[in-house]
Structure 1
Amino acid sequence: MKNKIKNLAVVVLIAVVAFSFKSLDEEKKNVKLESSKVVWKGYKVTGSHEGVIALKSGSLTFSDEKLVGGEFEIDMNTIICTDLEGEYKGKLEGHLKSDDFFGVENNPTATLDFKNVKATGKNSYEVTGDLIIKGKTNPIVFTMSVYGNKANASLKIDRTKYDVKYGSASFFDGLKDKAIYDDFDLVVDLEF
């Protein structure tokens, strides 16, 4: 029995030491929210709409000046349409916040957590992460570029994987020119 306790203590000690060394060479850099930008663009048969949405928090993790991780939280209440004005702008923003789309009253944030980062060039990385929208988690793969204290990425997201099915021809027949495409884009410019 004493040997089992000693062995367990040795394993715990080795684990603590190993994790301690790993965290020493990693540096977490918080994103500057006021100078970072997330632009969204959604597409429909008759055109498109675009706007911005704010980050609530975010950070990138580096080891030996190489990107190794990241995590972000988006404030879904900040969805703004930039290509419309007046009444139509307000209607679209309200509709995007409603349960037809992102249901922000019950789902005020969306998150992205990097699970794997692979260098593909000097400043380029392939990132695999978990994206959570409306409580639904799905993997996403995208390319991120990092230059100095700035990073950018473009993500293509299939909204139907997150139970955002309004106006989707994949789920509703007869929409014709009222159909909204399933994919939308996020273009992210970060400063840290």
Structure 2
Amino acid sequence: MKNKFAKAVLALVVAFSATAFTSVEKEEKEVDVKTSKVTWKGYKVTGSHEGTVNLQKGTLTFEGDKLAGGEFVVDMASLTSTDLEGEYQGKLNGHLKSDDFFGVEAHPTSKLVFTEVKSTGKNAYEVTGDLTIKGKTHPVTFELSVYGNKATGAVKVDRTKYDIKYKSGNFFENLGDNIIYDEFDLVVDLNF
């Protein structure tokens, strides 16, 4: 009888010990929106434009030292070009914020919520997330690298999925050199 009791106690101790070591707590780390940077680059037949947009808030979720999730809100009113100056910069910024592009007055923020994170190597992840622009949400997949308290990544976005069709060759004919390509690039450098 004593032997059975001792075995039962030992089994319980082993079971509790195993669960204590296998459960990893999730930790949310707030992104420093002042030192983090999001840059964009859009392309047209005759060249390109580039600029920045600010994060309003963001968090990365970790399980132990592994990335497990994330959520970001972008302040669309901060959208600006950095390759132009003066009057031309003002015109482009105004046009990008208009309903032809991002409709910032009606849609002041955009959002990205990670839905799946897969480790692809040391410090490297394939991330799938729901990207919301102009009230429309579509999945995007991209590579993200995490080193210490920094993360970097890049994603291509098809603007037409978010009802941004201005001068798209897929929706308008005879645009010639005025075509603006559907995909634009976002590059993020995050500090947390």
- With structure 1 as the length reference, what TM-score do the two structures score? 0.88
Q: Give CA-to-partner distance per residue, 1:80-109, whole Å, 9 cap, x none.
A: 100001111000000000000000000000
Unaligned 5+ segments in structure 1 are 1-20
Map of 2:9 onto structure 1 = none
2:129 alignment partner, SS class: strand
- Inter-partner Cα distance in structure 2 for 1:46 and 1:125: 35
| Alpha-carbon distance in structure 2 between the residues aligned to 1:64 and 1:79 | 35
Matches for 1:105-124 after TM superposition, within 5 Å: 105-124=105-124
User: What residue in structure 2 maps to residue 149 of structure 1?
Assistant: 149
Tell me the secondary structure at the aligned position of residue 121 of structure 2. coil
Counterpart of 2:68?
A: 68
Aligned length: 171
Q: Gapped runs of 5+ residues in structure 2?
A: 1-21
Q: CA deviation at 1:64?
A: 1.2
Letter in 1 for 2:162: Y
The 2-side partners of 1:64 and 1:103 are apart by 40
C-alpha deviations, 1:119-174, integer Å up to 9, x for none? 00010000010000000000000000000000001010000000000010000001
- Alignment-derived partner of residue 54 in structure 1: 54
Q: Which has the larger radius of gyration?
A: 2
Runs of at least 4 residues off by over 6 Å: none
Considering only aligned residues, what root-mean-square deviation do their CA atoms show, in Å?
1.1
| SS, match of residue 160 in structure 1 | helix
Mapped partners of 2:167, 2:121: distance in 1: 39
Identity rate of aligned residues, in percent? Answer: 64
- Alpha-carbon separation, structure 2, partners of 1:33 and 1:64: 23
TM norm structure 2: 0.88
2:156 corresponds to 1:163: no
Instruction: Tell me, in whole angstroms, the C-alpha distance in 1 between the residues paired with 2:34 and 2:93.
Output: 21
Distance 1:79 1:25 in 2: 36
Alpha-carbon distance, 1:179 to partner:
0.5
Give the corresponding residue for 1:191.
191
1:4-46 deviation digits (Å, cap 9, x = unpaired): xxxxxxxxxxxxxxxxx97x70000000011100000000000
